[in-house]
Structure 1
Amino acid sequence: MSIIVLLIFILLLLLRVPISLVLGITSFVFLLVSNNTGMLINAPQRLYSSLENYGLVAIPLFMLAGELMNSGGITIRLVKFAQSFVGHFRGGLAYVNILANTFLAAIIGSAAAQIAMMSKIMVPAMEKEGYKREFGAATTAAAGMLGPIIPPSMLFIIYGVSSGTSIGDMFMAGIIPGILISISFVVLIAYIGYKEQWQSSEKILWKERGVSFVKVLPALLVPGIIIWGIVTGAFTPTESAGIACVIAILIGFLFYRELKWRELPKVMINTAISTAIVTLLISMANLFGMVLTFERIPQLIAEWMTSVTSSPLVFLLIVNVFFLLLGMLIEGIAILIILTPIFAPLLPQFGIDPIHFGVIICLNVTIGILTPPVGSGLFLASSLGNVKLESLVKAIWPFVVVSIIVLFLITYIPELVLYIPSLFAANS
C-alpha cells in the first residue's frame, strides 16, 4: 500500500504537477486505500487548523508590503542607487544586480518575487551592455536567493512557526549569512570579469550619488524600522509586517507619488494570489505530514539518524546532503513544513541550536530553487529572461557552487549565524 502511494507521489512529480497538489492528492489516496475513515473525516479540519497561527499572518503582510513598494517605484530607484556606486567597475551591471537584490531582499523576502521583478529589468539591461543573456539571467536568479535569507524572510517565518523558534531571532540570524552570500557572488563576478576582460565604464560624480541616495533613503527605512522594532521589542515580526505596509503606502503616495489609487486593486489581487499559493502549500504539506506521522516515518528517520552517528558534525553533513538533494525535487516550503517537526526533536541530542539549524536548512532549500530538475527560480529566470534552460543551467552552476561553499561555512562556524542573535540577547 505504501509502495503504491510512493509511486503515485513520484509519478506526479515527474509529470510536473504543482507540489501542493502532489502532496494533497498523495495524502488523500493514502487515506482512501488505507481505509482510515477517522483520518479522512478529520482531514478538512487538519487543512484549516494548519493555517491557524498568528505568525503566518506576517506572510501576506510582507507580500503586500513588497507589492506596494514595487508599484511605488522602489525597484528602479534601488537599481539606480546601486549603479551610481558600483556601476563603473569592470562588470558593473552584474555588481548592480547583486547589490540591488540585496537591498530588495530586505523588503520583499521572497526569491520568486525578486527573480520575477529583476529579470524584466536587469537581463535586457545587461545584454544591452554586452553581457551574455544567459549570464544576466543566471546572475539575476542567483541574486534572488538573497530574498529568503536576508530578513524579513518567508522561509524563516514558516520554520519559526513549525519549530516553535523565535521568528525575530531567525531574522537576526539571517543577516550575516545573507551578507556572506552577497560578497561571495561579488567575488565570483570579479573573477569572471577579470577572466572575460570586461570593460569598466565612466565613474558617476559624487553629487549624483548623493541625489540617488536621498531618493532611495525612504525605501531603506522599511527594513531598518522592521529590524529596529524586532530587536528592541517594540513590536513582533507580524506587527512589523503591518507597519511595513503602512510605511510603504505613505512612501508610495506621499514621497515618490508613483503609487496610484487605481493600482491598489491590482496590488491586492497579486498579494491574494501569492498568499493563496503559499497557504495552499502549507495546508497540503501539513496534511502530508499527518500521513507521515501515521506511518511512523519521523520516528524511523530519528532512529536511523541516531544509530548512524553521534557526532554533530557528521549529523549536519548528512542533513546538508539530504536537504540539497531533496531541494532539487520538492518546493522548499513543503520541505520545511514536512521535515522540521521530524528533525527538530533530534537537535538537543546533538547539541545543535535550533536557530543555527533553521538557517542551515533554509539556505539548503533556497539553493534548491537554482538546481534542476524542479528549480522554480531557474524556470522563472529562463521564461522571463527569454533564455534556453540548458544555457541558463550552465551559466548558473558557478553561483550554485559558491552558495554551497557558504552553506558549509555557516554549518561548521555557528558564530556566523548566532553572533547577532546572541549579541541582542545579551543586551536585552
Structure 2
Amino acid sequence: MEPIIGIIILVLLMIFGIPVAWSFAGVLAYFVWAYDTNTSTLLLQGFRGLNSVILLALPLFILAGYLMESGGIARRLINFMEASVRGKKSGLGAAMVMSSAVFGAISGTATAAVASIGTIMIDPLAARGYPRAYSSSLLGISSLLGILIPPSITLILFGVITRQSITALFAATIGPAIILIVGLIIYNQIASRKFIQKFEEEQLALGQDSSIEKTQAEIDGFVKSTLKAIPALMMPIVILGGIYGGFATPTEAASIAVFLSIFIGFFVYKNLTLKTLYQSLLSAGETTGTIILILLFSIMIGRIMVAESVPQDLTVFVTSLTDNKIAILLIVNAFLIFVGMIMDDVSVTVVIAPLFMSLMVSAGVDPIHFGSIVACSVVIGANSPPMAPILYMACKIGKASIHSAIAPALRLIFYVALPVMLIVTFVPQVSLFLPKLFGVY
C-alpha cells in the first residue's frame, strides 16, 4: 500500500507545481516515516550510488547539447537537412525528423532538440502550408529521438540506477530509433499531402508559383550548406565511433563532445563567445543539479523499496494474475505509458523502471531489452495528456494551442509511436542485435 501512496504523493506534488526534485524529496520523506528507516545509512547509500565514473557523462553530454545550440552547430545541421530534401513536397517535415535524429546523436536530450529545431523550422513549415498544430506535434514526437539515439541522458540514468552497461543500452535503442524515424517520415509523407495540396491550390489561385523544384542556386546552396555542416556531422561519427570502436568510454566520449563543441563553436563557426559559453555552463549546471537531486532521492527511495521487498511483492502480485509472458509485457507497457502521461521521462526512468526490473527478469525479459521498452514508452508518455511536457513545450515554440495539437499528436502516437513500442517489446532482436554485433553485451 505504501508504494501506491508514494506514487500518488509524487503525482499530486507535481500537479500542484512543486519542482520535480522536491516532489521526490516529499515521497522520500513519506517512505522514511512509513518504514521507519535509518536516515544516516540511507544517505550513505544514496551518495555511494552517485559515486560513479559513468555518471560523469551526464553533465558533460548536457553541456555539449547547450554548446551545440549556442555555438551554431545545431543551425548548420538543420540547414543541411533542410537543403538535402528541398524539392520534395513533404521534405521539410522529413528534415525536421532527421534533424532531431542527428541532434539527438550529439546532445542526448529532447528539450534541447525542441528548443533548437523548433525555433528554426516551425516558421518555414508554416510558410509551406503545414498547420502549426501538426508541426508542433511532429516536433514533439521526433524530438524524443534524442532519448533513443545515443548518447541518451535517459539511458545513462537507466544504466546507473539498474546497474546495466551504458554502452549496451546505447546500442540497444539504435534499432528502435531507426524504425521510429522511418515511421515518422512515411506518416509525414502521407499526412502532409492534403494540406500541401491545399496550400499549392491557394497559391495558384493568387497567381503565385509554389513550385519547389531545385534550381541551380538551390543546388549551389545545398553544396554550401553541406560543406558548412561537415564539422557538425563529424561529431556523432567521432563520439559513437569512439564508443563502439573501443577507443573511448561513454564518459570519455562525453568529454570529447564538449571539447569538439567548444572548438567548433569558437574557431570554425565562430558563433560561440565567452558570454554564451558562460550561459551554456550555467544552464548545464542548473539542469545537471536538478537531475542529480532527482537521482539521489530516487536511489534512496529504491533502497527502501528493495529493503522492504517491494519489487518482489510486485512480481508475485502480477504473476498471480497471469504467468503469460505476452500478458505481462502488455501490462507493463500499459502501466509505463499511463505513468508517462503524468510523469516526466526522468521520473519514469529512475523510479518506475527499477520497480519492474525484477518482474521483467522473472518473465524472461533481458534487462537491456527492457531499457529499450522504457525508452519507447517515454516517447509516448511525454506527448500524451494530461502532462505531455514535451508537447506543451513544442506548442509554445510553435505558437500553437495545446488543444489544437492534441489530435495530431494522438494520431502520431497511435499510428507510429505505439506500433514501434509494440515491435520493440515483442521482437527482442530489434534491441539486442546491435549490442551483440558490437560485442558490448
* TM-score bucket of the superposed structures, by smaller chain: over 0.9
Percent identity reads: 30
Cα distance per residue 1:253-277 (max 9 Å; x no partner) = 2222222223211111011011112
> 397, 407, 413: which is aligned to 1:384?
397
Cα distance per residue 1:290-330 (max 9 Å; x no partner) = 34335432121111233233333222222111111111112
The structural deviation recorded for 1:83 is: 1.3
Instruction: Give distance in 1, aligned partners of 2:215 and 2:138.
Output: 23
Q: What amino acid sits opposite 2:110 in the alignment?
A: A
> 327, 336, 342: which is aligned to 1:314?
327
Aligned to 2:417: 403
Q: How does 1:253-332 map to 2 (within 5 A)?
A: 253-332=266-345
Report the CA distance shift for 1:180/1:5 in structure 2 as closer, same or farther (over 3 A).
closer
Report the CA distance shift for 1:286/1:95 in structure 2 as closer, same or farther (over 3 A).
same
Q: How does 1:48-63 map to 2 (within 5 A)?
A: 48-63=47-62
Q: Is the 8 A contact 1:87 1:95 kept in 2?
A: no
Report the CA distance shift for 1:4/1:309 in structure 2 as closer, same or farther (over 3 A).
closer
TM-score (norm 1): 0.92
1:213 is the counterpart of 2:213: no
Instruction: Give distance in 2, aligned partners of 1:208 and 1:6.
Output: 53
Q: Is the 8 A contact 1:65 1:245 kept in 2?
A: yes
1:423 is the counterpart of 2:437: yes
The structural deviation recorded for 1:393 is: 1.3
Q: What amino acid sits opposite 1:119 in the alignment?
A: G
- Name whichever of 5-14 and 146-155 sits farther off: 5-14
Aligned to 1:183: 182
Cα distance per residue 1:45-69 (max 9 Å; x no partner) = 3443332222111011011111122
TM-score (norm 2): 0.90
Q: How does 1:20-169 map to 2 (within 5 A)?
A: 20-32=21-33, 34=34, 36=36, 38-169=37-168
Cα distance per residue 1:124-147 (max 9 Å; x no partner) = 222233321212211211111101
Q: Is the 8 A contact 1:137 1:381 kept in 2?
A: yes
Report the CA distance shift for 1:105/1:172 in structure 2 as closer, same or farther (over 3 A).
same
Q: What amino acid sits opposite 2:321 in the alignment?
A: V
- Name whichever of 180-189 and 295-304 sits farther off: 295-304
Q: Is the 8 A contact 1:24 1:287 kept in 2?
A: no
Instruction: Give distance in 1, aligned partners of 2:302 and 2:73.
Output: 39
Q: Is the 8 A contact 1:159 1:358 kept in 2?
A: yes
Q: Is the 8 A contact 1:85 1:204 kept in 2?
A: no
- Name whichever of 127-136 and 355-364 sits farther off: 127-136
Report the CA distance shift for 1:330/1:262 in structure 2 as closer, same or farther (over 3 A).
closer
Q: Is the 8 A contact 1:24 1:288 kept in 2?
A: no
SS in structure 2 of the partner of residue 176 of structure 1: helix
Aligned to 2:207: none
Instruction: Give distance in 2, aligned partners of 1:35 and 1:397.
Output: 40
Aligned length: 425
Q: What amino acid sits opposite 2:437 in the alignment?
A: L
Aligned to 2:235: 222
Unaligned runs of 5+ in 1: none
Instruction: Give distance in 2, aligned partners of 1:122 and 1:4.
Output: 43
- Name whichever of 295-304 and 400-409 sits farther off: 295-304
The structural deviation recorded for 1:334 is: 1.9
Instruction: Give distance in 2, aligned partners of 1:76 and 1:52.
Output: 36
> 192, 202, 207: which is aligned to 2:213?
202
The structural deviation recorded for 1:339 is: 3.1
Q: Is the 8 A contact 2:130 2:196 kept in 1?
A: no
Report the CA distance shift for 1:258/1:204 in structure 2 as closer, same or farther (over 3 A).
farther
Q: Root-mean-square deviation (CA), in Å?
A: 2.3
Report the CA distance shift for 1:168/1:4 in structure 2 as closer, same or farther (over 3 A).
closer
